[in-house]
Protein backbone atom coordinates (compact mmCIF):
# COMPACT_ATOMS: atom_id res chain seq x y z
CA UNK A 1 0.00 0.00 0.00
CA UNK A 2 1.45 3.39 -1.03
CA UNK A 3 0.92 6.70 0.80
CA UNK A 4 -0.34 9.50 -1.43
CA UNK A 5 1.17 12.15 0.88
CA UNK A 6 4.64 10.74 0.11
CA UNK A 7 4.17 11.55 -3.59
CA UNK A 8 3.71 15.34 -3.26
CA UNK A 9 5.75 16.98 -6.08
CA UNK A 10 8.22 19.79 -5.49
CA UNK A 11 7.70 22.08 -8.50
CA UNK A 12 4.63 24.32 -8.80
CA UNK A 13 3.49 22.93 -12.17
CA UNK A 14 3.74 19.30 -11.06
CA UNK A 15 2.10 20.08 -7.71
CA UNK A 16 -0.90 21.75 -9.41
CA UNK A 17 -1.32 18.82 -11.85
CA UNK A 18 -1.03 16.26 -9.01
CA UNK A 19 -3.52 18.04 -6.73
CA UNK A 20 -6.07 18.64 -9.51
CA UNK A 21 -5.90 14.92 -10.33
CA UNK A 22 -6.79 14.05 -6.72
CA UNK A 23 -9.55 16.69 -6.50
CA UNK A 24 -11.51 14.95 -9.29
CA UNK A 25 -10.35 11.40 -8.49
CA UNK A 26 -11.48 8.64 -6.15
CA UNK A 27 -8.63 8.87 -3.61
CA UNK A 28 -9.13 12.36 -2.16
CA UNK A 29 -10.57 11.07 1.12
CA UNK A 30 -7.50 8.89 1.67
CA UNK A 31 -5.19 11.81 0.88
CA UNK A 32 -7.07 14.08 3.32
CA UNK A 33 -6.80 11.44 6.06
CA UNK A 34 -3.04 11.15 5.52
CA UNK A 35 -2.50 14.92 5.52
CA UNK A 36 -4.73 15.35 8.60
CA UNK A 37 -2.55 12.86 10.47
CA UNK A 38 0.50 15.02 9.67
CA UNK A 39 -1.19 18.38 10.38
CA UNK A 40 -2.86 17.43 13.65
CA UNK A 41 -4.08 20.97 14.31
CA UNK A 42 -6.51 20.89 11.38
CA UNK A 43 -10.08 21.66 12.50
CA UNK A 44 -13.51 21.67 10.84
CA UNK A 45 -14.17 24.04 7.98
CA UNK A 46 -17.47 25.37 9.27
CA UNK A 47 -17.62 28.98 10.37
CA UNK A 48 -17.22 29.68 14.08
CA UNK A 49 -20.72 30.69 15.13
CA UNK A 50 -19.59 31.93 18.53
CA UNK A 51 -17.21 34.58 17.16
CA UNK A 52 -18.85 35.36 13.82
CA UNK A 53 -15.54 34.90 11.97
CA UNK A 54 -15.16 32.44 9.05
CA UNK A 55 -12.86 29.48 9.73
CA UNK A 56 -9.32 30.23 8.55
CA UNK A 57 -8.94 26.61 7.41
CA UNK A 58 -11.86 26.62 4.97
CA UNK A 59 -11.36 26.75 1.21
CA UNK A 60 -13.12 30.12 1.10
CA UNK A 61 -10.62 31.59 3.58
CA UNK A 62 -7.53 29.94 2.07
CA UNK A 63 -8.36 30.96 -1.50
CA UNK A 64 -9.91 34.34 -0.67
CA UNK A 65 -11.24 36.09 -3.77
CA UNK A 66 -9.62 33.62 -6.18
CA UNK A 67 -12.46 31.08 -6.08
CA UNK A 68 -14.14 32.27 -9.35
CA UNK A 69 -10.76 32.16 -11.13
CA UNK A 70 -10.07 28.65 -9.78
CA UNK A 71 -13.49 27.47 -10.95
CA UNK A 72 -12.71 28.73 -14.48
CA UNK A 73 -8.99 28.03 -14.90
CA UNK A 74 -7.96 25.55 -12.21
CA UNK A 75 -5.26 25.82 -9.57
CA UNK A 76 -2.72 27.33 -11.98
CA UNK A 77 -4.03 30.81 -11.08
CA UNK A 78 -2.80 30.36 -7.49
CA UNK A 79 0.62 31.03 -6.02
CA UNK A 80 2.63 28.06 -4.77
CA UNK A 81 2.10 29.24 -1.17
CA UNK A 82 -1.69 29.14 -1.62
CA UNK A 83 -1.61 25.63 -3.11
CA UNK A 84 0.51 24.38 -0.22
CA UNK A 85 -1.85 26.10 2.24
CA UNK A 86 -4.58 23.79 0.95
CA UNK A 87 -2.38 20.80 1.81
CA UNK A 88 -1.69 22.23 5.29
CA UNK A 89 -5.47 22.45 5.89
CA UNK A 90 -6.58 19.10 4.39
CA UNK A 91 -10.29 19.44 5.13
CA UNK A 92 -10.39 22.49 2.86
CA UNK A 93 -9.71 20.07 -0.02
CA UNK A 94 -13.07 18.37 0.57
CA UNK A 95 -14.83 21.75 0.43
CA UNK A 96 -12.86 22.66 -2.72
CA UNK A 97 -13.88 19.35 -4.32
CA UNK A 98 -17.53 20.19 -3.59
CA UNK A 99 -17.05 23.57 -5.28
CA UNK A 100 -15.39 21.95 -8.31
CA UNK A 101 -18.17 19.38 -8.76
CA UNK A 102 -20.97 21.95 -8.44
CA UNK A 103 -19.46 25.06 -10.04
CA UNK A 104 -16.36 23.99 -11.99
CA UNK A 105 -15.99 25.10 -15.60
CA UNK A 106 -14.62 23.51 -18.78
CA UNK A 107 -11.13 23.12 -17.28
CA UNK A 108 -12.44 20.85 -14.53
CA UNK A 109 -14.67 18.93 -16.97
CA UNK A 110 -11.56 18.06 -19.00
CA UNK A 111 -9.66 17.05 -15.86
CA UNK A 112 -12.50 14.74 -14.81
CA UNK A 113 -12.53 13.04 -18.22
CA UNK A 114 -8.76 12.43 -18.08
CA UNK A 115 -8.83 11.20 -14.49
CA UNK A 116 -11.86 8.95 -15.08
CA UNK A 117 -9.99 7.17 -17.90
CA UNK A 118 -6.92 6.61 -15.69
CA UNK A 119 -9.00 5.42 -12.71
CA UNK A 120 -10.98 2.94 -14.79
CA UNK A 121 -7.82 1.53 -16.35
CA UNK A 122 -6.31 1.03 -12.89
CA UNK A 123 -9.46 -0.70 -11.60
CA UNK A 124 -9.68 -2.90 -14.71
CA UNK A 125 -5.99 -3.91 -14.47
CA UNK A 126 -6.32 -4.86 -10.80
CA UNK A 127 -9.49 -6.89 -11.41
CA UNK A 128 -8.00 -8.68 -14.39
CA UNK A 129 -4.85 -9.68 -12.45
CA UNK A 130 -6.92 -11.08 -9.61
CA UNK A 131 -9.17 -13.02 -11.99
CA UNK A 132 -6.13 -14.57 -13.73
CA UNK A 133 -4.78 -15.70 -10.37
CA UNK A 134 -8.11 -17.35 -9.57
CA UNK A 135 -8.50 -19.11 -12.91
CA UNK A 136 -4.84 -20.17 -13.37
CA UNK A 137 -2.79 -19.89 -10.13
CA UNK A 138 0.90 -19.16 -10.79
CA UNK A 139 3.71 -21.57 -10.09
CA UNK A 140 4.66 -21.37 -6.42
CA UNK A 141 1.90 -23.43 -4.80
CA UNK A 142 3.38 -25.73 -2.17
CA UNK A 143 2.61 -29.42 -2.66
CA UNK A 144 1.39 -29.94 0.90
CA UNK A 145 -1.01 -27.11 1.76
CA UNK A 146 -1.65 -25.15 -1.46
CA UNK A 147 -0.38 -21.82 -0.01
CA UNK A 148 0.54 -19.12 -2.51
CA UNK A 149 4.17 -18.03 -2.49
CA UNK A 150 5.20 -14.49 -1.51
CA UNK A 151 5.68 -13.53 -5.15
CA UNK A 152 2.13 -14.59 -5.97
CA UNK A 153 0.78 -12.71 -2.95
CA UNK A 154 2.51 -9.56 -4.16
CA UNK A 155 0.79 -10.00 -7.52
CA UNK A 156 -2.63 -10.15 -5.81
CA UNK A 157 -2.24 -7.14 -3.53
CA UNK A 158 0.23 -4.93 -5.41
CA UNK A 159 -0.84 -1.83 -7.29
CA UNK A 160 1.71 -2.08 -10.13
CA UNK A 161 0.83 -4.34 -13.11
CA UNK A 162 2.55 -7.73 -12.70
CA UNK A 163 2.20 -10.60 -15.12
CA UNK A 164 1.39 -14.06 -13.80
CA UNK A 165 4.41 -16.36 -14.13
CA UNK A 166 3.98 -18.95 -16.92
CA UNK A 167 3.79 -22.58 -15.76
CA UNK A 168 6.98 -24.63 -16.10
CA UNK A 169 5.05 -27.93 -16.28
CA UNK A 170 2.94 -29.11 -19.14
CA UNK A 171 -0.74 -28.45 -18.48
CA UNK A 172 -1.63 -32.14 -18.34
CA UNK A 173 1.12 -32.90 -15.80
CA UNK A 174 0.17 -29.94 -13.60
CA UNK A 175 -3.50 -30.98 -13.68
CA UNK A 176 -2.61 -34.57 -12.71
CA UNK A 177 -0.41 -33.45 -9.81
CA UNK A 178 -3.09 -31.12 -8.41
CA UNK A 179 -5.77 -33.81 -8.80
CA UNK A 180 -3.63 -36.29 -6.88
CA UNK A 181 -2.75 -33.84 -4.08
CA UNK A 182 -6.14 -32.23 -3.44
CA UNK A 183 -9.88 -32.62 -4.17
CA UNK A 184 -11.22 -31.30 -7.45
CA UNK A 185 -11.52 -27.50 -7.60
CA UNK A 186 -14.92 -25.96 -8.12
CA UNK A 187 -15.55 -23.51 -10.94
CA UNK A 188 -17.50 -21.35 -8.50
CA UNK A 189 -14.55 -19.07 -7.51
CA UNK A 190 -13.76 -18.35 -11.15
CA UNK A 191 -17.37 -17.38 -11.87
CA UNK A 192 -17.50 -15.21 -8.76
CA UNK A 193 -14.19 -13.56 -9.64
CA UNK A 194 -15.43 -12.73 -13.15
CA UNK A 195 -18.66 -11.25 -11.79
CA UNK A 196 -16.73 -9.29 -9.16
CA UNK A 197 -14.46 -7.80 -11.81
CA UNK A 198 -17.37 -6.53 -13.88
CA UNK A 199 -19.10 -5.11 -10.79
CA UNK A 200 -15.87 -3.40 -9.71
CA UNK A 201 -15.41 -1.90 -13.16
CA UNK A 202 -19.02 -0.67 -13.27
CA UNK A 203 -18.66 0.85 -9.80
CA UNK A 204 -15.47 2.62 -10.89
CA UNK A 205 -17.20 4.08 -13.94
CA UNK A 206 -20.08 5.29 -11.80
CA UNK A 207 -17.71 6.90 -9.27
CA UNK A 208 -15.85 8.58 -12.12
CA UNK A 209 -19.12 9.95 -13.51
CA UNK A 210 -18.90 8.10 -16.82
CA UNK A 211 -22.07 6.04 -16.29
CA UNK A 212 -25.08 6.12 -13.98
CA UNK A 213 -26.48 2.97 -12.40
CA UNK A 214 -30.19 3.45 -11.83
CA UNK A 215 -31.03 0.54 -9.57
CA UNK A 216 -34.11 -0.02 -7.43
CA UNK A 217 -32.54 -0.21 -3.99
CA UNK A 218 -35.02 -1.86 -1.68
CA UNK A 219 -38.05 -0.76 -3.74
CA UNK A 220 -40.67 -3.40 -4.68
CA UNK A 221 -41.29 -4.03 -8.36
CA UNK A 222 -44.52 -2.70 -9.83
CA UNK A 223 -47.24 -5.32 -10.11
CA UNK A 224 -48.78 -3.76 -13.23
CA UNK A 225 -47.02 -4.17 -16.64
CA UNK A 226 -45.43 -0.95 -17.99
CA UNK A 227 -48.14 -0.52 -20.65
CA UNK A 228 -51.03 -0.89 -18.18
CA UNK A 229 -51.68 2.40 -16.34
CA UNK A 230 -52.39 2.23 -12.64
CA UNK A 231 -55.93 3.41 -11.81
CA UNK A 232 -56.00 6.84 -10.24
CA UNK A 233 -56.87 7.02 -6.57
CA UNK A 234 -60.38 8.56 -6.38
CA UNK A 235 -59.56 10.16 -3.02
CA UNK A 236 -56.01 11.56 -3.18
CA UNK A 237 -54.49 12.37 0.17
CA UNK A 238 -54.22 16.04 1.07
CA UNK A 239 -50.56 17.00 1.62
CA UNK A 240 -49.71 18.02 5.15
CA UNK A 241 -49.10 21.78 5.55
CA UNK A 242 -45.45 22.73 5.64
CA UNK A 243 -44.33 24.53 8.78
CA UNK A 244 -41.79 27.32 8.47
CA UNK A 245 -38.47 27.67 10.20
CA UNK A 246 -36.68 30.45 12.00
CA UNK A 247 -38.95 33.40 12.72
CA UNK A 248 -41.68 31.97 10.47
CA UNK A 249 -42.03 28.89 12.67
CA UNK A 250 -45.18 28.87 14.86
CA UNK A 251 -44.30 30.08 18.35
CA UNK A 252 -40.93 31.52 17.32
CA UNK A 253 -41.98 35.07 18.34
CA UNK A 254 -43.49 34.85 21.87
CA UNK A 255 -45.46 37.62 23.59
CA UNK A 256 -45.61 36.44 27.19
CA UNK A 257 -41.93 36.41 28.24
CA UNK A 258 -39.48 38.83 29.83
CA UNK A 259 -37.65 41.28 27.54
CA UNK A 260 -34.28 39.49 27.75
CA UNK A 261 -35.92 36.09 27.18
CA UNK A 262 -37.74 37.55 24.16
CA UNK A 263 -34.50 38.59 22.44
CA UNK A 264 -32.80 35.33 23.42
CA UNK A 265 -35.67 33.36 21.84
CA UNK A 266 -35.34 35.40 18.65
CA UNK A 267 -31.61 34.65 18.57
CA UNK A 268 -32.37 30.92 18.85
CA UNK A 269 -34.79 31.21 15.92
CA UNK A 270 -32.15 32.92 13.77
CA UNK A 271 -29.67 30.15 14.61
CA UNK A 272 -31.90 27.69 12.69
CA UNK A 273 -30.31 29.16 9.55
CA UNK A 274 -27.40 26.76 10.09
CA UNK A 275 -29.61 23.63 10.22
CA UNK A 276 -29.51 23.17 6.42
CA UNK A 277 -26.46 23.79 4.22
CA UNK A 278 -27.45 23.81 0.51
CA UNK A 279 -24.68 24.08 -2.08
CA UNK A 280 -26.50 24.60 -5.38
CA UNK A 281 -27.58 28.08 -6.56
CA UNK A 282 -31.32 27.40 -6.23
CA UNK A 283 -30.95 25.87 -2.76
CA UNK A 284 -28.83 28.76 -1.44
CA UNK A 285 -31.22 31.31 -2.96
CA UNK A 286 -34.26 29.65 -1.37
CA UNK A 287 -32.54 29.46 2.02
CA UNK A 288 -31.65 33.17 1.98
CA UNK A 289 -35.13 34.13 0.69
CA UNK A 290 -36.79 32.12 3.48
CA UNK A 291 -34.66 33.89 6.11
CA UNK A 292 -35.47 37.27 4.54
CA UNK A 293 -39.18 36.42 4.75
CA UNK A 294 -38.68 35.73 8.46
CA UNK A 295 -37.10 39.18 8.83
CA UNK A 296 -40.22 40.76 7.33
CA UNK A 297 -42.39 38.74 9.72
CA UNK A 298 -40.30 39.95 12.67
CA UNK A 299 -40.44 43.59 11.54
CA UNK A 300 -44.25 43.44 11.33
CA UNK A 301 -44.61 41.93 14.83
CA UNK A 302 -45.78 43.96 17.83
CA UNK A 303 -42.83 43.05 20.12
CA UNK A 304 -45.06 43.40 23.18
CA UNK A 305 -42.42 42.26 25.74
CA UNK A 306 -40.06 45.11 24.75
CA UNK A 307 -40.02 48.74 25.79
CA UNK A 308 -40.41 51.37 23.09
CA UNK A 309 -36.67 52.03 22.87
CA UNK A 310 -35.87 48.34 22.43
CA UNK A 311 -38.64 47.91 19.85
CA UNK A 312 -37.20 50.74 17.77
CA UNK A 313 -33.71 49.25 18.02
CA UNK A 314 -34.90 45.80 16.96
CA UNK A 315 -36.96 46.99 13.98
CA UNK A 316 -34.12 49.21 12.70
CA UNK A 317 -31.66 46.34 13.00
CA UNK A 318 -34.01 43.94 11.22
CA UNK A 319 -34.36 46.32 8.28
CA UNK A 320 -30.58 46.59 7.95
CA UNK A 321 -30.21 42.81 8.11
CA UNK A 322 -32.91 42.40 5.49
CA UNK A 323 -31.07 44.83 3.18
CA UNK A 324 -27.90 42.79 3.68
CA UNK A 325 -29.74 39.62 2.66
CA UNK A 326 -30.92 41.43 -0.48
CA UNK A 327 -27.27 42.08 -1.32
CA UNK A 328 -26.49 38.38 -0.98
CA UNK A 329 -29.38 37.49 -3.31
CA UNK A 330 -28.18 40.05 -5.86
CA UNK A 331 -24.66 38.57 -5.76
CA UNK A 332 -26.10 35.11 -6.37
CA UNK A 333 -28.15 36.36 -9.33
CA UNK A 334 -25.00 38.01 -10.73
CA UNK A 335 -23.28 34.62 -10.92
CA UNK A 336 -21.29 34.55 -7.69
CA UNK A 337 -20.24 31.08 -6.47
CA UNK A 338 -23.09 29.69 -4.26
CA UNK A 339 -20.79 28.61 -1.42
CA UNK A 340 -19.15 32.06 -1.37
CA UNK A 341 -22.57 33.73 -1.08
CA UNK A 342 -23.61 31.24 1.62
CA UNK A 343 -20.45 32.01 3.61
CA UNK A 344 -21.22 35.75 3.41
CA UNK A 345 -24.79 35.08 4.59
CA UNK A 346 -23.36 33.01 7.46
CA UNK A 347 -21.45 36.08 8.64
CA UNK A 348 -24.57 38.28 8.42
CA UNK A 349 -26.69 35.82 10.42
CA UNK A 350 -23.93 35.31 13.00
CA UNK A 351 -23.62 39.07 13.54
CA UNK A 352 -27.37 39.54 14.07
CA UNK A 353 -27.44 36.61 16.54
CA UNK A 354 -24.58 38.17 18.52
CA UNK A 355 -26.30 41.58 18.51
CA UNK A 356 -29.57 40.11 19.87
CA UNK A 357 -27.81 38.17 22.59
CA UNK A 358 -25.76 41.17 23.64
CA UNK A 359 -28.93 43.31 23.87
CA UNK A 360 -30.62 40.55 25.86
CA UNK A 361 -27.72 40.46 28.32
CA UNK A 362 -28.12 44.20 28.83
CA UNK A 363 -31.80 43.73 29.71
CA UNK A 364 -31.25 40.87 32.14
The CATH class given to the 246-363 domain equals: mainly alpha
DSSP reduced 3-state for 344:
helix
- Which of these ranges, 42-51, 63-72, 280-289, 307-316, has the smallest mean pLDDT? 42-51
Integer Cα distance of 130 and 145 in angstroms: 21
Above 70 in pLDDT, residue 77?
A: yes
Share of the chain above pLDDT 70, in %: 61
Residue 174 has pLDDT above 60, yes or no: no
Distance CA 33, CA 339 (A): 23
Q: Report the candidate in 18, 46, 92 with the shortest Cα–Cα distance to residue 350.
A: 46
- pLDDT > 90: percent of the chain: 29
pLDDT at site 207: 57
Q: Confidence band (pLDDT; 50, 70, 90) for 346?
A: very high
**Model confidence at 45, in pLDDT bands (50, 70, 90)?**
very low
Q: Count CB atoms within 10 A of the CB of residue 251.
A: 7
* pLDDT score at 90: 87
> Confidence band (pLDDT; 50, 70, 90) for 38?
confident
334 or 45, greater pLDDT: 334
pLDDT over 80 (residue 267): yes
- Give the pTM: 0.40
Consecutive H or E run containing 37: helix 28-38
**Chain segment 308-333, per-residue pLDDT in tens:** 999 999 999 999 999 999 999 999 99
Q: What is the pLDDT of residue 164?
A: 45
Q: What are the residue ranges spanned by the domains of the chain?
A: 4-104, 112-141+150-161+189-213, 246-363
pLDDT of residue 285 exceeding 90: yes
Amino acid sequence: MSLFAMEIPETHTELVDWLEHHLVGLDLAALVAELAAVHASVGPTNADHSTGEPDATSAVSVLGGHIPEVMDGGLTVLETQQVRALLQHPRSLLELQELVLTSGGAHWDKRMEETASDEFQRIADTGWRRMKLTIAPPVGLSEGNGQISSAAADTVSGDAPTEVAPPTLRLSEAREQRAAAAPARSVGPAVLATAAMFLLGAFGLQQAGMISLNLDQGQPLAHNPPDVPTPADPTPATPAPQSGWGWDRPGAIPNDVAPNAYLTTLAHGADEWFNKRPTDPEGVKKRISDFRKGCSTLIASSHEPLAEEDRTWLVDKCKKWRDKLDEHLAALDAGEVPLTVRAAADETVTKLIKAMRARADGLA
